[in-house]
Amino acid sequence: MSRPSPADSAVAAPADAALTGGTALARRRLGVWAIVFFVISAAAPLTVVASAAPTDFRLAGIGGPGAMLASGIVLMLFAVGFTAMSRYVRNAGAFYIYGAKGLGKPIGIGIVFVTIFSYAALCICFYGFVGFFGEMTFSALFGIDLPWTVYALIAFLVVGILGYRKIDVGAKVLAVLLTAEVAILLILAIGVLAQGGPEPISFAAFAPQNVFFAAGSGALFVFGFGAYLGFESTAIYTEEAIRPTRTVPMATYIAIAFLGIFYAFTFWILTVAFGVDGVLKLAQEDTFQDMVFNAGEQYLGLWASITMRILIVTSFFACLLAFHNACTRYLFSIGRERLLPAWLARTQIKTQAPHHASLVMSIISLAAIVITLATGADPFLGFALPVYSVGVAGLVFAQAVAAIAVVGFFLRDRREHSVWRVIVAPALGAIGLIVGWILIATNFGLVSGVEGPINIALLAPTPVLFLAGIVIGFVLKARNPRHYAELTTVVVDDEG
């Protein structure tokens, strides 16, 4: 570890001391592709294509592929400045450090409270998805009739074990699962292009009038920004990256570029498979969510449809593992800052995994499963989908604030970077993300699956936690200036 500067040594000492004796993450453990697997797995490309594509076609016409590409461009603009700043804020706290360095420590505390809550919500909601789709899939395909909680608890045990072990073990698991779900969609695409669809190939899905000006275009970007959830988590793994200044930026660019191109291409393939008119007609049918599975069976055979349904379950599990890892690292970082109990900053002696934070996340997840079971709530509509909507809203909000923080950080000193990279690009990204959050908030029922005032209650944690964090920051500054001064002083050497 290194101190930020000689002038800060007095206040940095306690933070540095906190990193000894089992409170440091494993160093030089993750390469570019390991981080890429974590990020893309969190986005769950197969589940996005299987669920968001038919929903886009149903709610807003043919422009889904173009909206996915446009959302990716906005996030790439944000990433240009985001990755530049990652050279100066090498800490597992990621958004916390970005907010603090760019807009002030109270803003940093506010954004990290929102981020931790959002990651936790996304983590626990995937237990509902795994359980629901596990029960449905194995019952339909294999005649195995087990309640959803069995599949959720199996996932709980596996994630708990992997969260305790070396992080690269989890990365290898995600690599296998992610490769499988991407491969089946690419095989489907090849089959569709080789055989040809019922109508001439059309690129109307990318036409501006169908993307930005169509009735219901707001819905396209609700799912568009939601499809990239977790891409920013590359920065969380800075302390564990092999070469942080190169690994993190490269992983970020690869993840966003891959997701943008992959989403746009696979969404578009459905318009080839069924034709523009055909896909819109199918989208209005009651079985519209089976669109991708039907395409697999039609162009590849029944085996493809069965394989996809199984991979949907493993894809949600991959999401779960990725968000569990991300949330535990935030808890670790904020425990190290003593904004939450310092006990969270303990790491396992042999593996250096943040096992205390992982245990806390596991306990929260188990409690959510038990509460859902005890109340008799539907695991999909009553648990997974509403909780997912909370996480989506919070994380896009946090991304927007982080983008503004990047601009604030470099306005004071561009550190020899170009104006485009550290001011213009992240500012454009911030504008896009702010618009994205407004679209999510104003179309929240599309994400949550519920109607009425409950949507206001589901949205409330984001602004409430953000403001609460800011207040806590100012109170800490007034009452405990030494602790306040120590915040954000822990950094990681580039190569050391």
Mean pLDDT value across residues 223-229: 87
The region of weakest confidence among 36-45, 203-212, 237-246, 462-471 is 237-246
The answer to whether 291 touches 53, Cβ cutoff 8 Å, is yes
Mean pLDDT value across residues 310-336: 89
Say if 495 falls within a structural domain.
Answer: no
**How many residues would you count in the chain?**
496
Look-up of token digits 């550290």: 422
pLDDT digits (tens, 9 = 90+) for 149-197: 999 999 999 998 887 765 555 667 777 888 899 999 999 999 999 999 9
What pLDDT is recorded for position 268? 97
DSSP 74-112: HHHHHHHHHHHHTTT--STTTHHHHHHHHH-HHHHHHHH
Shortest CA distance to 76 belongs to which of 227, 244, 257, 213?
257
Mean pLDDT value across residues 115-122: 94
Say if 493 falls within a structural domain.
Answer: no
Distance in angstroms (rounded) separating the CA atoms of residues 439 and 437: 5
% of residues, the chain, pLDDT over 90: 57
3-state secondary structure string, 225-240?
Answer: HHCCCCHHHHHHHHHH
Shortest CA distance to 234 belongs to which of 49, 54, 389, 90?
90
The CATH number given to whatever domain includes residue 190 is 1.20.1740.10
Say if 491 falls within a structural domain.
Answer: no
Instruction: Tell me phi and psi for residue 491, to 5 degrees.
Output: -130, 170
Say if 317 falls within a structural domain.
Answer: yes
- Note down the domain range covering 193: 6-486
What does the CA dihedral 92, 95, 96, 99 come to, rounded to 10 degrees?
Answer: 140
Mean pLDDT value across residues 355-364: 92
Mean pLDDT value across residues 59-87: 91
Residue 135 has pLDDT above 50, yes or no: yes
3-state secondary structure of 350: coil
Say if 494 falls within a structural domain.
Answer: no
**Local confidence band at 94 (pLDDT 50, 70, 90 cut-offs):** confident
Residue 170's contacts (CB-CB under 8 Å, 6 or more residues apart) are 38, 162, 163, 321, 325
Residue 190's contacts (CB-CB under 8 Å, 6 or more residues apart) are none
The region of weakest confidence among 135-149, 164-178, 253-267, 331-345 is 164-178
Which of 85-89, 159-163, 313-317, 347-351: highest mean pLDDT? 313-317
User: Residue 30 forms beta bridges with which residues?
Assistant: 241
Q: pLDDT higher for 110 or 7?
A: 110
The answer to whether 77 touches 431, Cβ cutoff 8 Å, is no
Q: pLDDT higher for 448 or 118?
A: 118
CB atoms within 10 A of CB 476: 18
**Local confidence band at 7 (pLDDT 50, 70, 90 cut-offs):** very low
Structural domains in the chain (count) = 1
Q: pLDDT higher for 287 or 28?
A: 287
Say if 21 falls within a structural domain.
Answer: yes
**Local confidence band at 22 (pLDDT 50, 70, 90 cut-offs):** low
Q: pLDDT higher for 249 or 379?
A: 379
Residue 25 has pLDDT above 80, yes or no: no
Mean pLDDT value across residues 239-263: 86
Mean pLDDT value across residues 134-162: 93
What pLDDT is recorded for position 495? 42
CB atoms within 10 A of CB 195: 12
Mean pLDDT value across residues 376-397: 92
Mean pLDDT value across residues 76-91: 82
pLDDT digits (tens, 9 = 90+) for 300-309: 999 999 999 9
Say if 427 falls within a structural domain.
Answer: yes
Name the average pLDDT for the chain.
Answer: 86
What pLDDT is recorded for position 9? 33
Distance in angstroms (rounded) separating the CA atoms of residues 193 and 190: 5
Residue 294 has pLDDT above 90, yes or no: yes
Say if 1 falls within a structural domain.
Answer: no
What pLDDT is recorded for position 18? 39
The answer to whether 218 touches 441, Cβ cutoff 8 Å, is no
Distance in angstroms (rounded) separating the CA atoms of residues 331 and 219: 33
pLDDT digits (tens, 9 = 90+) for 403-417: 999 999 999 999 889
Distance in angstroms (rounded) separating the CA atoms of residues 33 and 39: 10
Distance in angstroms (rounded) separating the CA atoms of residues 176 and 172: 6
pLDDT digits (tens, 9 = 90+) for 413-443: 998 899 999 999 999 999 999 999 998 898 8
What pLDDT is recorded for position 92? 55
**Local confidence band at 217 (pLDDT 50, 70, 90 cut-offs):** confident
Residue 4 has pLDDT above 80, yes or no: no
CB atoms within 10 A of CB 125: 27
Mean pLDDT value across residues 391-409: 93
% of residues, the chain, pLDDT over 70: 90
Which of 314-323, 392-401, 445-454: highest mean pLDDT? 392-401
What pLDDT is recorded for position 16? 42
